[in-house]
Amino acid sequence: MAQFIAEEAKRCLQCKRPLCKEGCPVSTPVNEVIKLLLDGNIIDAGEKLFNNNPLSVVCSLVCPHEKQCQGHCVLGRKGNPVQIGSIENYISDYYLNFISSGAEVDRNKKAAIIGSGPAGITIAIILASRGYDITIFEAHDKIGGVLRYGIPSFRLDKDILEKLKDKLISMGVKIRPNTLIGQDITIDDLFRDGYKAIFIGTGVWKSKSLGIKGESLGNVHYAIDYLKNPEVYDLGRRVCVIGAGNVAMDVARTALRHKAKEAYIMARRGPEDIQADKVEVEYAKIDGVKFEHYKSPVEITDEGIICVKTEVIKEEGQRDRVTPIENSEELFPADSIIVASGQGPRTNIVSTTNGINVTERGLVATDEFGLTTREGVFASGDVVTGAKTVVEAVRVSKIVAQAMDEYVCKKYNL
């Protein structure tokens, strides 16, 4: 592995205008990091990555690199781009064994982080490095949020999250697992107990149903629930996943790794309109996932899915319409059906707190700096934007962390 990394790093042209950096949502200084690595300064390289993106070790594995850094590498125009993700992961994983806080904890600067997904971890690390007394409240038994419970292990080794947990603790961060804010403790309780600012990064954990007959049957499951712990499900031989996003690809590939012999993706549109990233579709096909395009479910039975064939109507100046074809109903046999039609936020916090407004989609409403409609309460990540990439959560959360710091220091003269 080290030889591969060294060879890839040497291919970097050290462009004066690094397009790879411009293609990264958090402007990772790829060329600078690679130069440090080749000069024998891997710790400095890791520090630069970590300071720019606390979740560099995660993003190096789960980012759609072909759209971002690698997709902008000039070597990719006529050949193969530098494998930036692999280089970044090698450096970041190595660096996690060495980083430490360097900042003393100021008990007067208490901040509560609700949720330990990408946004929450990013906020916690940034504020802890500035001396904040941080407590993370996590509803599950382990930290990570969607990183742990929504991304399969074959894409993201969960040992990485344990390393991040160790680093959080080494920085003085306290973690309260199995604590659901809004039920056990309220936002008002947190302010009562001296927290100067509160961050909400609870993600989107409420599955969106199809609203069709048969959805309550025992052979129907929801994607976000299945990915949390696939080992407890007995799906049978033939599985059909309804939906065509990245989550659907993860579910189908996971099912094939847990005793299912056949996995199908059912989509209302054609291959050219599939929502998942192209590379995720390719990985799914390599794993043996099959695709059933132009089909829409209308009812679920114990034997499978009753679906209708569809067609996409394209009209100039109008949004494409998907319409069912008359008299085209058929049964698609399946032992289990997994619904991957999207997720929304839970209401346990906003329903127990005055002053936090939500959007029409039920997402937490914020300004451009992550401030909600209640003073001292900030939010970012999927609970604000809906399901997005990890790196997008990091990008916005860096802005929010700065806003939280400025708010606390100004309001409390710290």
Residue 203's nearest CA partner among 83, 343, 305 is: 343
For the chain, the helix, strand and coil percentages under 3-state DSSP, each to the nearest 5? 35, 20, 45
The CATH number given to whatever domain includes residue 80 is: 1.10.1060.10
387: CB partners within 8 A, 6+ apart: 204, 247, 342, 343
Report pLDDT for 315. 75
Asked if the structure places residue 320 within a domain, the reply is yes
Report pLDDT for 363. 94
CB 344, CB 208: distance < 8 Å: yes
Asked if the structure places residue 101 within a domain, the reply is no
Q: Are 273 and 377 found together in one domain? A: no
Asked if the structure places residue 100 within a domain, the reply is no
Among 343, 362, 394, the domain boundary falls at 343
Six token digits for residue 274: 């599939």
Strand 238-242 versus strand 336-339 pairing type: parallel
Report pLDDT for 101. 61
Q: Are 350 and 391 found together in one domain? A: yes
Burial of 74 (0-12, 13-18, 19+ CB in 10 A): middle
Among 343, 368, 396, the domain boundary falls at 343
- The whole domain housing 60 covers 2-95
CB 28, CB 58: distance < 8 Å: no
The neighbour count for residue 312, using CB atoms within 10 Å, is 14
Six token digits for residue 185: 């403790």
Q: Cα separations (Å) of 276 from 49, 244, 260, 281, 349? A: 28, 6, 22, 7, 31
Map residue 347 onto helix, strand or coil.
coil
Q: Are 339 and 215 found together in one domain? A: yes
Burial 261-299 (b: 16+ CB within 10 A, else e): ebbbbbbbbeeeebbbbeebbebbeebebebebbbbbee
54: CB partners within 8 A, 6+ apart: 121, 122, 125, 126, 394
The CATH number given to whatever domain includes residue 399 is: 3.50.50.60
Q: Are 215 and 336 found together in one domain? A: yes
Among 312, 343, 374, the domain boundary falls at 343
Q: Are 88 and 142 found together in one domain? A: no
Q: Which residue has the tokens 């990245």?
A: 246
Six token digits for residue 41: 């300064």
Report pLDDT for 226. 97
Report pLDDT for 102. 64
Q: Are 117 and 185 found together in one domain? A: yes
Q: Are 245 and 285 found together in one domain? A: yes
Which amino acid is present at 120?
Answer: G
Q: Could you give the count of Cα atoms lying within 13 Å of 148 in the half-sphere of its Cβ?
A: 20
* pLDDT under 50: residue ranges of the chain: none
Q: Are 274 and 301 found together in one domain? A: yes
Asked if the structure places residue 75 within a domain, the reply is yes
Q: Are 381 and 403 found together in one domain? A: yes
Q: Are 211 and 339 found together in one domain? A: yes
How many structural domains are present in the chain?
A: 3
Burial 377-414 (b: 16+ CB within 10 A, else e): bbbbbbbbbbbbbbbbbbbbbbebbebbbebbeeeeee
Asked if the structure places residue 113 within a domain, the reply is yes
Q: Are 163 and 217 found together in one domain? A: no
Asked if the structure places residue 165 within a domain, the reply is yes
382: CB partners within 8 A, 6+ apart: 117, 119, 146, 203, 204, 345, 388, 393
Integer Cα distance of 162 and 182 in angstroms: 26
Asked if the structure places residue 174 within a domain, the reply is yes
323: CB partners within 8 A, 6+ apart: 310, 311, 313
Q: Are 356 and 335 found together in one domain? A: no
Residue 268's nearest CA partner among 220, 210, 315, 308 is: 308
Asked if the structure places residue 318 within a domain, the reply is yes
